[in-house]
């Protein structure tokens, strides 16, 4: 009989840029210190995630000394020339306004579209699911929204998913084969690692 298969998705803890409502994609900045979070130091599962420091630090904070396997394809969307800028700084830019209306196909200057993001994240997700048992993936808001849109048992559009910093979604399938075939999970749950959300 096949074994049930679970994937846990965690959005990294917030950074100063997140708190200041800046576009923080490939910008490599640390998480805010002093956060009160739930910890699972003895978690005996494989933790995989983005190579950016905010994800590595989140994994270290939450899972203690559990080994962390880096996969750069779990990075956030690259916002290119708009990195570290805010809506107010960009709102008069015609290319920015056009992008807001079609983020799936359009990319920021020197950045990437949501379609490009989805392609690399899906590859990383399937590789991780094939290689590891019950993996925990520490990633970013964009990749998590993409994966929830594609795999969650509840169908929602990309922006309808509320994915707060420190949120943890656990997705359950009847077996690993179902994941690798691209099937939606049969159930999922969500909890929050932080006692209070700064965003």
Per-residue buried b or exposed e for 95-113, using 16+ beta carbons within 10 Å of the residue's own CB: ebeebeeebeebbbeebbb
The answer on pLDDT for 198 being more than 60 is no
| CA 42 to chain CA mean position, Å | 23
What pTM was computed for the model? 0.94
Helix (H, G, I), strand (E, B) or coil at 171: strand
> With left for phi above 0 and alpha for psi between -120 and 50, is residue 110 left, alpha or beta?
left
pLDDT at residue 196 above 70? no
- Per-residue pLDDT, 1: 62
Q: Which residue has the higher pLDDT, 128 or 42?
A: 128
Count CB atoms within 10 A of the CB of residue 172.
15
Q: What is the pLDDT of residue 199?
A: 43
Average pLDDT, the chain: 95
Nearest to 76 by CA among 6, 33, 4, 12: 12
What pLDDT is stored for residue 13 in this prediction?
A: 98
- Rounded mean pLDDT of 90-99? 96
**pLDDT tens digits, one per residue of 36-90:** 999 987 667 899 999 999 999 999 999 987 899 999 999 999 999 999 999 999 9
User: 48 and 55 in contact (C-beta within 8 Å)?
Assistant: no
Of the options 3.40.50.2000, 3.40.50.970, 3.30.930.10, 3.40.50.1240, the CATH number for the domain spanning 5-78+114-192: 3.40.50.1240
For 156-168, the pLDDT digits (tens) are 999 999 999 999 9
Q: Which carries the bigger pLDDT value, residue 91 or residue 45?
A: 91
């Amino acid at each position: 009989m096949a074994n049930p298969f679970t994937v846990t998705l965690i959005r990294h803890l917030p950074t100063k840029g997140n708190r200041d409502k800046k576009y923080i994609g490939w910008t490599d900045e640390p998480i805010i210190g002093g956060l009160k979070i739930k910890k699972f130091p003895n978690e005996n599962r494989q933790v995989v995630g983005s190579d950016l420091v905010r994800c590595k630090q989140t994994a270290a904070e939450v899972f203690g000394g559990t080994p962390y396997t880096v996969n750069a394809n779990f990075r956030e969307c690259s916002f290119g020339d708009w990195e570290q800028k805010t809506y107010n700084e960009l709102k008069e830019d015609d290319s920015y306004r056009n992008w807001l209306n079609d983020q799936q196909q359009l990319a920021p200057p020197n950045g990437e579209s949501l379609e490009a993001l989805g392609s690399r994240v899906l590859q990383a997700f399937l590789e991780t699911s094939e290689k590891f048992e019950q993996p925990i993936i520490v990633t970013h808001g964009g990749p998590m929204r993409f994966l929830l849109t594609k795999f969650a048992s509840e169908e929602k559009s990309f922006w309808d998913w509320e994915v707060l910093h420190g949120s943890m979604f656990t997705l359950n399938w009847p077996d690993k084969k179902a994941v690798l075939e691209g099937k939606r999970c049969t159930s999922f749950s969500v909890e929050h690692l932080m006692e209070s959300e700064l965003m």
